[in-house]
Amino acid sequence: MHLPEHLQSIWQQLGIAPEVLQQKSLCVFEEAAELRDVETAADGRVWQLTPAAAQAWQAMQAAALSDGIELKIASAYRASSRQVELIERKLNLGQSIDDILQVLAPPGCSEHHTGRAIDIYQPGGPIVEEAFETTCAFAWLSQHATHYGFTLSFPRDNPFGYVYEPWHWCWQLRS
């Protein structure tokens, strides 16, 4: 896959080598064209998903709740520009780009750009931490999420070189 020209300059500014695309077997994702508000965080941030992913999320969230499991969104749609801000913040804190790319995708390569990826948490539990795998929410998702079209994107030892992310689930288009 080829890195689009507009991303080449952004990657260069961040110190990301173009070879990372092939080395990590990454995809370049189109940003979502249509988004729907699905949840508002306690701090007022509005989480958005594509209409189809939003419908699947709300159905899955309702089903989990009927089983006594509350699921909430910690992150959803994220523009490439926001991805740049997150990486710049970590660089400014002295983290190396190699370390950053174990936990954040390069701009253009995050499933969050698609409007189909969500980071999930259970109120009172860990948020975007590996310990999420010990929650009832993770157990429920492991058993039921695929029924709603959601899959765990970054299991242990994933081919993309990202850390294990039991909280990160992506709705997959069904044909």
Bigger pLDDT: 173 vs 137: 137
For 46-105, what is each residue's pLDDT tens digit? 999 999 999 999 999 999 999 999 999 999 999 999 999 999 999 999 999 999 998 899
Quickly state the pLDDT bin for 1 (edges 50, 70, 90): low
For 108-154, what is each residue's pLDDT tens digit? 999 999 999 999 999 999 999 999 999 999 999 999 999 999 999 99
Q: Provide the pairing of β-strand 36-40 with 46-49.
A: antiparallel
Contact 79, 31 (CB under 8 A): yes
Q: What is the pLDDT of residue 57?
A: 98
DSSP state of 141: H
CB-side neighbour CA atoms (13 Å) of 155: 3
- Decide: residue 149, CB within 10 A, 0-12 exposed, 13-18 middle, 19+ buried: buried
pTM above 0.85, yes or no: yes
Question: Under CATH, which number does the domain 32-77+115-171 receive?
Answer: 3.30.1380.10
Please state the domain extents for the chain: 32-77+115-171
